[in-house]
Amino acid sequence: MPRVTSPSSRRESVADGALALLAREGLRGLTHRAVDAEAGLPAGATSNVARTRAALLDLALHRVVELESAEFGAPGAPGAPGGADPADIPLPGTPEGLAAALAAIGHHLVTRRAARTRARMELALEAARRPELRAAYDRLGHSLRDPLRAVLADLGSAAPERHARSLVMWLEGLQFYCSAGTGAAEPPARAEIEADLRELIGPMLETPSAGV
């Protein structure tokens, strides 16, 4: 007897299958038929959930938002197609705690979640070409940047907006370095990432800055 699945469960299976394909084969490998096979679903199941390629990409991106909100954000506020924005990521209010928390997030994304990070990179490139994906991808970035700005302001940064942007850029660079760059074969240890972040954050809080 065929196993009955709820619409939400089927949607998650399709999205997870799409992310697995994006990580392994890139955008070229993302087809409705391939997602059916990857997710172990009957032929046509993916088309029933996301009829177009654009809808499938949107579903995959929102699944990244949902998963990262669940792992790093406030409980009960996952992103979803047509639903809530990603939850803000809670951050400690000390320089050392901030460096440790960001290192934990960065290391997690390039080790245990390396495949998802590769899929996210593929989606980032596609978002550069598709305005409808751009908005969702940018919301994902703001889920870290907004709380970072607030914490940095509380810690005495003279330019919390710019400093938050710099840290997000550094973390996104870390993800590229470990996913597609020269660090892919040997990602840095968490302690190394934390040491780097301490060196970045320290001067932000000690030196008067021009700008916003």
pLDDT tens digits for range 112-121: 999 999 999 9
pLDDT score of 1 more than 50:
no
Residue 212 included in any domain: no
pTM assigned to the model: 0.82
What integer pLDDT is reported at residue 77 of this predicted model? Answer: 35
Determine the average pLDDT of the residues in 67-76: 67
What integer pLDDT is reported at residue 209 of this predicted model? Answer: 56
pLDDT score of 96 more than 90:
yes
Residue 211 included in any domain: no
Residue 166 included in any domain: yes
Q: How many domains does the chain have?
A: 1
For residue 133, the domain's CATH number is 1.10.357.10
pLDDT score of 76 more than 60:
no
Residues 190-204 as b or e (16 or more Cβ within 10 Å = b): beebbebbbeebeeb
Render pLDDT for 28-62 as a digit per residue (tens, 0 to 9): 999 999 999 999 999 999 999 999 999 999 999 99
Q: The domain containing residue 187 runs over which residues?
A: 7-206
Long-range contacts of 32-36 (CB under 8 A, 24+ apart): 32/56
